[in-house]
Structure 1
Amino acid sequence: MRLLEALPATTELTRRESARYALLLAQATDKCEKPLLPCDSLLDVALDYYDDDERERAVALLYKGRLEVEMEQSERAIGFLLEGLEIIKKFPQDIETRKYLFSSLGNEYFDARLYEKAGKAYQELYKCCTTDKDKSIALNSLASFYAVTEKEDSALILQCKALEYAQISKDSAMIATIALNLSVEYSSKEANDTALYYARMSLQWLPGNKNRSDYHANIGNIFLDKEERDSAIYYINKKIEDSTNIKGRANALLNLSYIKEEQGDYQATTELLYQFVDIIDSIYFTEQSNKIQQLIHKYDSQTKVKEEQFKGQKKLRTAIACFTFCCFLIALFYQHRINKRKRLQLINEQNLKQAQEKLTSLETTIEESHRIVVLLQREHSTLIQEKEKNNQEIQERENQIKKLKEEKLALRNWLFKQSDIYKKIIKLSKQNVSSKKERSVLTDAELKKLKETVLDIYTDYIAGIKVQYPKLTDEDLLFLCLDEIGFSSQTISLCFGNIDTHVLAQRKYRMKKERM
């Protein structure tokens, strides 16, 4: 990578050398896990040089597709990858390029929620695998496909098989990744002990140069489900310390604030929420920057297409112009011979007159432009002052709205806590019994009363959710309100008449699908 980047800019390369250099630089950049955007114009050179019957064109299309994936241009990315697969069919011995094309295409279909197409691409990917490491990657991808298509048992079987191949290949990074996926899958099934076993395995195998934030977050969530809050706080803090992803850091701060709120440490909760809000603001500006960069890339691509069209039109216009010019020269030659002196004198007079007219017109235009510039400068200064004043007023109103929202939420919570049904729920959450079957739950009448009380107090909150997700039932809305209040999963399950959280987990999964 350093050798390729160190190539002097003044070095003159032939088209063939430039195309080869583009492929080598794109491959090195991709292996180093760096953005491919700087290779965009070079890849265009390679695509322009190589034909459909050359293997190198398929390689160029692979990296062009991955570049479009980075720029979130899904349709263009899929188009390049499919074109690459059509070309690579002519070279059955090049299994490596075919494997990378199917891998990238499957991932793009998966992200676009085209799960059936993604599953077929991953199956073709598995057929291209020759090493244990490649098989573990393909099986892990297939397991993700089965997981989202509600075939959890098949997903677990494939993930276990993928883990076996990864262990045979002794690839520590792959072992850590698959063990993490297994941990998440078992955690979703509330098999917390098994999930914790694989979570610790993933952390044990993770190479020292890899970021551990996601692994710490997973263990923290498992301890949170096991209601071991001290351990959960420890790993969530580790997640915050190690995180390089600002979104992940924001989620960790939010989860930690919930725990602190349950523990009654409201000062720590407030500090964590302030940090969370600061990060959310930073994420907003980062996303805006990324959108601008994507738009620039999109317009650059459109410009290249227009340039190619313009070149074709220019060649046609040039041919027509040459033909016309030749005819004109012939006519001019004969006219020149007939009346040379008279024609030259007339042309000189006309040119002089036109030059004088243009000079007068330019002087008038310059004066008018100067006047307009002065006016625009004054208007610009006035607009800047008005903008500053408006921004200050907007900020003050936003602060007032935020304060009113907080007061409104606190008032709702206070009203609910004054109700008898709230006291009943608190009593249920504190019951200490030796067996789950001995736990008391809300009766149907109490559940009805709870529903009426919550839906009455949190009317505005519920109305906003209904607008976004109209398919949610009253029970779903009740669950969201109880979760917003801060009740634990076990307490909410008791409110719905269940002694464990299994039914609640199913509800969460269903609601997550509907809200997606």
Structure 2
Amino acid sequence: MRNAIQRLALLPIVTHFLLLAACHRTDRQAEALLNNADSLLTVNPDSALHLLEALPATAELTHRESARYALLLAQATDKCEKPLFPCDSLLDIALDYYDNDEKERAVALLYKGRLEVEMAQSERAVDFLLEGLNVIEKYPEDAETKRHLLSSLGNEYYDARLYEKAGKAYQELLKCCFTDKDKSIALYSLSQNFLTSNKDSLIALKYKSLEYAKKSKDSAVIAIAALNLSFESSEEEIDSSLHYAQLALKWLPKNKERNNYYANLGDIWFRKEENDSATYYLNKSLENNENKNERAATLLSLADIKEKQKDYQATTELLYQFIEIAASTYFSEQSTKIQQLLHQYDIKKKIDQEQKRSKNSLENAIRVFIFLCLALIVFFQYRINKRDKQRTINEQKLAQAQEKYNNLQYSINESQRIIALLQKEQSDFSQEAEKYRQEITERETAIEKLKTEKEGLRTWLFKQSNIYQIIERLSKQKVTSKKKLTVLTNHEQKVLKEVVMELYADYISDTKTQYPLLTDEDLLCLCLEKVGFSNQTIALCFGNTDTHALAQRKYRIKARMNERK
């Protein structure tokens, strides 16, 4: 009966273990690829995107890995400035996996919103972006995600002509910016013409944006800020607009498209009635420009110039090109709508395939679970029977061990009594040894103190001598040339040597015994160093005006000491 109860108690644990084993299908290679892509995302998004696209379609990912893959692919695609259409169904998986209290959901909502912007679904985009802001409010440390959400939301409000809401979003965006580059971009957004009615305030924002751009040293951001300043349309500021348009073109990186910059510069030259320069830059803006709206606007500007120059044939050709582009724009829009419908169909097809694959995986998991349950039941039954036999053997051994324990306990008690006696004797000995150690320490301290007093007294006696007063006076000489320095006379050197040899007799004796190769002059030099004289003062004591001879003497002293060693 007891064995049956134990088996029933183990069944929930076994079931939980088997479910985990059946559902856990982590692909080590896929996990390593995701980690590598994550590390490359900031510094090299192109490589990260290539790495993610290289993931085999047959790779089996867990729900968690699929959600993470979706976020990484969306971030890499967005950083590479490519359409987010391929990430649609994957972002749905991420939104289904992450809860409202996880910051990863805010990231998924950000890119889902940007995807809806690409599909011209502004209302849905705003809903996703607002929901993302609600989630990211729980994570104030993640300023980057909040900054991207506010930027996209402000752009949508601006495009919808909700300028008041757009201005508030851009102001909140500025609060989340900490780097000069981000501040410049936020101020650029705030400096849009419709967000402020005060022209002075508008210009001040543009100048401040350029100031932060220069601090960031990012050439692309500097080019954008300068281009923004060049859009002032008043005739009084036309030279300033030209200056900033040229500055923007100068700072623009070589790998960036220059068509807009050339077109803007051509428009400014056109306003200055410099038709040759305007024609040159407008023609350059048409080179490799695939944007039909931009090409159409440029062709109209060129047609105006040719008309002013009374070149009516060229004007007519340019207008025909403009009409051709305008006519094709309608068909292009229709084609885009068809592409969006096809894309939605592809998404639905992928979702159906994913659901079918999930259903097959679940059926296979159930089969594996049933098989493992049967195998584990047999295994645990064998273990339980083996454990019962082992318990009987252990009970017999326990009785024998108890009897042996009682005998050992008596021996232990006797041993403890003897140890207590020995510890008492050791304690008495330790107290006496500690007393001797304290007395030795006190005597050593007294000796060190007497040595210190002796050195101080010896130095004081030396300072009371006449020869010390002479040396002190010589050390304070203030002359412009070493040749004018006064040194000790031979008689004074002799007196100095006698005084030092008398006061430092014990020190000299000990040093002479340790280093017998040292001469009397070497010992005198060491004593003067011990007094604390500078090298210049010691040189004067030996009759020298510079320290070169003293340095040689010190070198010989060191050599003699090392030779003795």
Same fold (TM over 0.5): yes
In the alignment, what sits opposite 1:141? 189
Measured after TM superposition, the shift of residue 214 of structure 1 is: 0.8
Residue correspondence of structure 1 range 420-499 to structure 2 within 5 A: none
After superposition, give the CA deviation of every residue in 1:364-415 in whole Å (9 maximum; x if it has no partner): xxxxxxxxxxxxxxxxxxxxxxxxxxxxxxxxxxxxxxxxxxxxxxxxxxxx
In the alignment, what sits opposite 2:252? 206
1:62 aligns with 2:110: yes
| Counterpart secondary structure, 1:191 | helix
Shift in alpha-carbon separation, 1:299–1:78, aligned structure 2, 3 A: farther
How far apart, in 1, do the equivalents of 2:90 and 2:275 lie?
A: 53
In the alignment, what sits opposite 2:321? 275
Measured after TM superposition, the shift of residue 150 of structure 1 is: 2.4
In the alignment, what sits opposite 1:163? 210
Measured after TM superposition, the shift of residue 282 of structure 1 is: 2.5
**Does the Cα contact within 8 Å between 1:58 and 1:88 map onto a contact in 2?**
yes
In the alignment, what sits opposite 2:63? 15
After superposition, give the CA deviation of every residue in 1:331-351 in whole Å (9 maximum; x if it has no partner): xxxxxxxxxxxxxxxxxxxxx
Deviates more, 1:225-234 or 1:60-69: 225-234
Measured after TM superposition, the shift of residue 234 of structure 1 is: 1.1
How far apart, in 1, do the equivalents of 2:165 and 2:342 lie?
A: 30
Corresponding letter in the other structure for 2:270: L
Give the counterpart of 1:219 among 256, 259, 265.
265
In the alignment, what sits opposite 1:129? 177
How far apart, in 2, do the equivalents of 1:233 and 1:198 lie?
A: 19
1:291 aligns with 2:333: no
**Does the Cα contact within 8 Å between 2:163 and 2:194 map onto a contact in 1?**
no
Q: Indicate the RMSD between aligned Cα atoms, in angstroms.
A: 2.2
| Counterpart secondary structure, 1:211 | coil
How far apart, in 1, do the equivalents of 2:166 and 2:340 lie?
A: 25
Structure 1 residue runs without a partner (length 5+): 312-516
Corresponding letter in the other structure for 1:165: Y
How far apart, in 2, do the equivalents of 1:70 and 1:116 lie?
A: 23
Measured after TM superposition, the shift of residue 119 of structure 1 is: 0.7
In the alignment, what sits opposite 2:122? 74
Shift in alpha-carbon separation, 1:188–1:19, aligned structure 2, 3 A: farther
Structure 2 residue runs without a partner (length 5+): 1-48, 357-565
Give the counterpart of 2:238 among 181, 186, 192.
192
**Does the Cα contact within 8 Å between 2:259 and 2:284 map onto a contact in 1?**
yes
Residue correspondence of structure 1 range 233-252 to structure 2 within 5 A: 233-252=279-298
Corresponding letter in the other structure for 2:200: D
Measured after TM superposition, the shift of residue 281 of structure 1 is: 2.5
**Does the Cα contact within 8 Å between 1:147 and 1:155 map onto a contact in 2?**
no
In the alignment, what sits opposite 1:412? none
Shift in alpha-carbon separation, 1:16–1:249, aligned structure 2, 3 A: same
After superposition, give the CA deviation of every residue in 1:447-490 in whole Å (9 maximum; x if it has no partner): xxxxxxxxxxxxxxxxxxxxxxxxxxxxxxxxxxxxxxxxxxxx
**Does the Cα contact within 8 Å between 2:166 and 2:195 map onto a contact in 1?**
no
In the alignment, what sits opposite 1:52? 100
In the alignment, what sits opposite 1:176? 223
Deviates more, 1:257-266 or 1:113-122: 257-266
How far apart, in 2, do the equivalents of 1:189 and 1:20 lie?
A: 54
Corresponding letter in the other structure for 1:177: I
In the alignment, what sits opposite 1:261? 307
Identity %: 68
The alignment of Structure 1 onto Structure 2 pairs a total of residues equal to 305
How far apart, in 2, do the equivalents of 1:112 and 1:299 lie?
A: 28
**Does the Cα contact within 8 Å between 1:102 and 1:125 map onto a contact in 2?**
yes
Corresponding letter in the other structure for 2:245: A
**Does the Cα contact within 8 Å between 1:216 and 1:238 map onto a contact in 2?**
yes
After superposition, give the CA deviation of every residue in 1:271-296 in whole Å (9 maximum; x if it has no partner): 21222222222222211112233455
Shift in alpha-carbon separation, 1:84–1:246, aligned structure 2, 3 A: same
In the alignment, what sits opposite 2:276? 230
After superposition, give the CA deviation of every residue in 1:202-237 in whole Å (9 maximum; x if it has no partner): 000000011111111111111111111111111111
After TM superposition, the score normalised by the length of structure 1 is 0.57
Deviates more, 1:86-95 or 1:271-280: 271-280
After TM superposition, the score normalised by the length of structure 2 is 0.52
**Does the Cα contact within 8 Å between 1:122 and 1:142 map onto a contact in 2?**
yes
| Counterpart secondary structure, 1:12 | coil
How far apart, in 2, do the equivalents of 1:286 and 1:150 lie?
A: 36
In the alignment, what sits opposite 1:325? none
**Does the Cα contact within 8 Å between 1:72 and 1:294 map onto a contact in 2?**
no
